[in-house]
């Protein structure tokens, strides 16, 4: 766990405890808060009584009185994350990269990154665990796609609302790389081997009041590459504001916080940590919703430094730019823009643009649109079918299929006969 992951974990713990404290206020505390509303905001007494600050971190740490067990829990998390930061390993390429792949056809169609979906779609759990809600209860979902080279990737998920508060989600994410030919250093064939990886995960989402929600995913990762195996664990932390009255959703997600317990060799590698944020909004009587998502916020420059880069982009011609003039390109590489149109909540059309993908998959010899993705969704009674296609430049397109079923719709509710329907005695 690096320093960025530790700071994210501490921040999410502070915000979550703050929301928990706000939701569980006693009636006397609520009356005190109502009195504070009459104090002018420019008055020093406002900050003195309410503890409000323009700094969100100060709000999470100072304005909320964390006492008793909450205080001990928060201090424990802070100490643990600080110690993990001091023992962070410096590595090269990340391992378990399949954790960053889009988990469903709908996410694929919306650019591969989306944290602002909040409805009955169970496949959004891996994108944002705070999206887990009672609408997903008893839903089961399966999605699959085949990458170039016959690499099969898929996800199986199920959600359940128990009698306790919150909604739980469980699933298995897998990737099978297929069969390979094994050779020695001289090229002599020794046989064949297979390679595969899996992610067994469980998540929990809880709603604070009417518009706030928080969630967490716990992941157990197993990787088998020929005769080498690796085991690791990771977690996702998320917070979301979903205001249905104003048709706006705001989210913040820290994905893949963790590392390897058992490395492939003697060196531990980092896993693909990603700090994401998003906002989506719609309009009344207008069946279109706009999504804006940001990814890899923990790293400013994610641009590949290629001296031979002479291609033009959607925004700028990189051949005419100097080192200091790539600022716009660096900013947009973090951006994914998507639009979803629904027709009577039965038919859904998705389109999105991912600038990072556009830059990394474009060829200098031929123009293309690898940054675009499209999707179609159908909702018929208990069934949801989604199809997403992601352009892959000269490699064609990546097709993703997802089928979700609401198993609760097949359970007939028992009806009690009315008193008038009872047979009368003669």
Give the model confidence (pLDDT) of 345-377 as tens digits.
899 999 999 999 988 888 777 777 889 999 999
Pair 311, 358: CB distance under 8 Å: no
Query: Percent of the chain, pLDDT > 90?
Result: 54
Give the whole-angstrom CA distance, residue 229 versus residue 244: 46
Pair 402, 131: CB distance under 8 Å: no
SS3 129: helix
Give the whole-angstrom CA distance, residue 328 versus residue 315: 8
Other beta carbons less than 10 A from residue 114's beta carbon = 30
- pLDDT tens, residue by residue, 101-118: 999 999 999 999 999 999
Q: Find the farthest-apart pair of alpha carbons in the chain and give their distance in angstroms, rounded.
A: 99
Q: How far is CA 194 from CA 177, 190, 373, in A?
A: 7, 13, 31
Pair 146, 310: CB distance under 8 Å: no
CA trace torsion 125, 132, 240, 272 (10° rounding)? -20
SS3 22: helix
Give the whole-angstrom CA distance, residue 276 versus residue 295: 4
* 75 or 307, which is more confident: 307
SS3 350: strand
Pair 242, 211: CB distance under 8 Å: yes
Angle CA 193–195–197, to nearest 5: 160
Among 27-36, 37-46, 124-133, 395-404, the range scoring the smallest mean pLDDT is 37-46
Instruction: Please compute the mean of the pLDDT values over residues 244-266 and round it to a whole number.
Output: 94
Instruction: Please compute the mean of the pLDDT values over residues 199-220 and round it to a whole number.
Output: 95
Give the whole-angstrom CA distance, residue 141 versus residue 385: 10
Joined together, the tokens standing for residue 415 give 């009806």
Query: Percent of the chain, pLDDT > 70?
Result: 69
Give the whole-angstrom CA distance, residue 352 versus residue 119: 19
Work out the angle between the directed axes of helices 68-86 and 3-23 (0-180°, nearest 10). 170
Considering only CA atoms, which of 109, 106, 138 is closest in space to residue 123?
106
CATH number of the domain at 97-297+334-410, please?
Answer: 2.40.160.60
DSSP of 359-383: HHH--SSS---TTEEEEEEEEETTE
Residue indicated by tokens 């997802």: 402
CATH 2.40.160.60: which residues of the chain?
A: 97-297+334-410
- pLDDT tens, residue by residue, 136-152: 999 999 999 999 888 99
Pair 254, 271: CB distance under 8 Å: no
CA trace torsion 359, 99, 107, 409 (10° rounding)? 170
Which residues does 175 contact at the CB level (< 8 Å), separation at least 6? Answer: 98, 101, 151, 152, 153, 154, 196, 197, 198
The per-residue pLDDT for 213 is 96
What is the helix (H) or strand (E) element at residue 225, kind and residue range?
strand 212-225
SS3 155: strand
Confidence of residue 4 (pLDDT cuts 50, 70, 90): low
Buried b (16+ CB within 10 A) or exposed e, 18-36: bbebbeeeeeeeeeeeeee
66-70, 119-123, 207-211: range with highest mean pLDDT:
119-123
């Amino acid at each position: 766990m690096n320093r960025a992951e530790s700071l994210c974990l501490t921040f999410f713990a502070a915000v979550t405890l703050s929301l928990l404290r706000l939701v569980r206020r006693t009636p006397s505390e609520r009356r005190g808060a109502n009195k504070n509303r009459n104090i002018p905001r420019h008055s020093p007494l406002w900050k003195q009584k309410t503890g409000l600050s323009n700094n969100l971190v100060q709000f999470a740490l100072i304005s909320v009185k964390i006492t008793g067990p909450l205080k001990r829990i928060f201090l424990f998390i802070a100490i643990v994350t600080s110690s993990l930061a001091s023992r962070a390993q410096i590595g090269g390429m990340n391992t378990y990269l399949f954790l960053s792949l889009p988990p469903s056809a709908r996410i694929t169609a919306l650019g591969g990154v989306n944290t602002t979906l909040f409805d009955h779609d169970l496949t959004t759990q891996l994108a944002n665990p705070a999206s887990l809600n009672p609408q997903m209860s008893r839903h089961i979902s399966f999605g699959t796609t085949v990458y170039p080279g016959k690499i099969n990737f898929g996800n199986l998920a199920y959600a359940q609302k128990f009698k306790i508060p919150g909604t739980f989600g469980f699933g298995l994410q897998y990737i099978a790389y297929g069969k390979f030919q094994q050779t020695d250093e001289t090229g002599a064939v020794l046989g064949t081997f297979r390679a595969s990886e899996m992610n067994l995960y469980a998540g929990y989402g809880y709603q604070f009041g009417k518009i706030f929600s928080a969630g967490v995913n716990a992941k157990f990762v197993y990787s088998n590459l020929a005769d080498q195996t690796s085991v690791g664990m990771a977690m996702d932390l998320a917070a979301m504001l979903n205001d249905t009255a104003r048709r706006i959703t705001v989210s913040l997600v820290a994905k893949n916080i963790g590392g390897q317990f058992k490395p492939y060799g003697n060196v531990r590698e980092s896993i693909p940590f990603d700090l994401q944020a998003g906002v989506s909004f719609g309009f009344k009587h207008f069946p279109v919703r706009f999504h804006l998502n940001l990814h890899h916020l923990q790293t400013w420059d994610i641009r590949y430094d290629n001296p031979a880069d002479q291609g033009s982009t959607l925004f700028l011609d990189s051949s005419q730019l100097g080192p200091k003039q790539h600022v716009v390109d660096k900013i947009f590489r973090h951006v994914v823009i998507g639009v979803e149109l629904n027709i009577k909540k039965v038919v859904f059309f998705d389109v999105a643009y991912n600038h990072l993908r556009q830059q990394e998959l474009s060829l200098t010899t031929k123009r293309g649109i690898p940054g675009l993705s499209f999707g179609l969704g159908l909702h018929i009674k208990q069934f949801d079918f989604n199809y997403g296609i992601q352009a892959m430049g000269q490699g064609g397109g990546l097709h993703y299929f997802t089928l979700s079923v609401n198993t609760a719709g097949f359970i007939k509710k028992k009806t009690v006969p009315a008193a008038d329907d009872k047979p009368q005695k003669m």
